[in-house]
Amino acid sequence: MSDNDELQQIIDGCKNGSEESFSRLVDIYSGRCYGFFYRLSGDRDLSDDLLSELFVRLVEKISTYKGGSFGGWLFTTAYNIFQDYLRGKHRRGKLLEGRRDLVELEQAAGGKDDDEVMDELQKQLSKLDSEAKELILMRYYGQLSFKELSEARGEPIGTVLSKVHRGLKKLRARMETFRYGQRRY
Amino acid sequence: MGKEDIKGLFERFCSSDKAEQSAEEIRAGEQLFSERRSPEPGVELIAEIKSKVGRRLAKRVRRQIAYKAVAAAAAVLVFGLSIWFWSFERVESPIQHSISYSSKMPMAVWDSNDIITGDTKLAFANSELERIKEEVHSAGFGEPDIKVEEALFKLENELLAVNGNFWKE
């Protein structure tokens, strides 16, 4: 049985209300969805909440999946959950606070270990425009092809290709600058 | 994603050299994410999510059962109401009866004020009565060429015949 057939079987099981199928879906996608939320928010606690919200919401929403790229559909749903979160005024304040704390933490840290490099990627990613960031993260964590990404976003493939290319080029340049700065000091 | 021909996609929009360079830039950019893996969700979190999903599924099943019960009750109610309305219409409606009785009467009765012209049987009976009336009249006045006894006998017979025919029809 191919991976696609197996995934389709799991999705069908979820639509029929099988707890085991949902459990398998969580096992397959929780890591990538968590990474997606973490890269979007920069906050582990918030990523915990959003991941939980995503799978609980899927119980009701899975019936609306009518075929096509499941990854594209799932990560679009995940992004919508993140957007819903941002729309909440109360929580938005908390997110900004969390980001400020993260930046302060990075500035205060003296060592230059792997964790710090990971946070630097997070920091540089947050400086990208939100659309480019969203596309880059959806493609990477959703493991989507450009065709799937353009279908999920409802945009022409050339537009998606161009936005992702520009965004990644900018991100890489900023990370290089950061590394160069580290070597100098 | 992995097997995708990114260079081929770029070649639709730019030269081969530029497409090669752009595809390489995308690969290098995505390499940043592979080198710096994001944190993984905790085991407790996954267990908690599965538990929440299980509870939500149970709630969904209960809700579906409730919807089905409500739908069945609504169907029974609609069926009962339709039966009730149907029987009410059959037993109580005076309109239905008036239509069935009135339809048995000649249409001419409704179209004209003179019911005799509208009904051939009544017209025939009426003409007979008119003729008998004339004969009685002529007998009463003692017209010379009519014998009274013969005329009365004939009149009596005709009246009997008319009476019989009328009720037969």
Of B123 and A136, the one with more pLDDT: A136
Instruction: For residue B4, give the chain A residue with the closest CA.
Output: A145
Among A62-71, A142-151, B117-126, the range scoring the smallest mean pLDDT is: B117-126
What is the arithmetic mean of pLDDT over A34-39? Answer: 94
Of A8 and B105, the one with more pLDDT: A8
Domain extent for A19: 1-97
Q: Among the three residues A68, A97, A126, which one is the final residue of a domain in this structure?
A: A97
Residue A62: burial class (beta carbons within 10 Å; 0-12, 13-18, 19+): buried
pLDDT(A22) > 90: yes
Tell me the whole-structure pTM to 2 decimals. 0.65
Q: Are residues A88 and A46 in the same domain?
A: yes
Which of A42, A48, A18, A43 lies closest to A30 in space, CA to CA?
A: A48
Q: Are residues A88 and A105 in the same domain?
A: no
Between the alpha carbon of residue A143 and those of residues A148, B19, B86, the distances in Å are 9, 21, 63
For the record, the structure tokens of A172 come out as: 């890489």
| B49 Cβ under 8 Å from any chain A Cβ | yes
pLDDT for the residue A68 = 87
Which of A126, A172, A168, A121 lies closest to A146 in space, CA to CA?
A: A168
For the record, the structure tokens of A122 come out as: 């997070």
Which of A148, A9, A162, A11 lies closest to B2 in space, CA to CA?
A: A148
CATH value at residue A105: 1.10.10.10
Question: In whole angstroms, what is the distance from residue B48 CA to residue B33 CA?
Answer: 28
pLDDT(A183) > 70: no
Kindly give the confidence (pLDDT) of every residue in chain B, 169 residues in length, as a single tens digit, with 9 standing for 90 and above: 656 788 888 888 888 888 888 999 999 999 988 888 888 999 999 999 999 999 998 888 888 888 888 888 888 888 888 888 887 666 655 555 555 555 555 665 566 666 666 667 777 877 888 888 887 777 656 555 556 677 778 778 888 887 777 666 5
Q: How confident is the model at residue A50 (pLDDT cuts 50, 70, 90)?
A: very high
Q: Are residues A88 and A5 in the same domain?
A: yes
Q: Are residues A1 and A90 in the same domain?
A: yes
Q: Among the three residues A97, A131, A162, which one is the final residue of a domain in this structure?
A: A97
Question: In whole angstroms, what is the distance from residue A38 CA to residue B167 CA?
Answer: 104
CATH value at residue A68: 1.10.1740.10
pLDDT(A112) > 70: no
| A75 Cβ under 8 Å from any chain B Cβ | no
How many domains would you assign to chain A? 2
B75–chain A nearest CA distance, Å = 25
B50–A146 C-beta distance less than 8 A: no
Q: Among the three residues A65, A97, A129, which one is the final residue of a domain in this structure?
A: A97
Q: Are residues A21 and A9 in the same domain?
A: yes
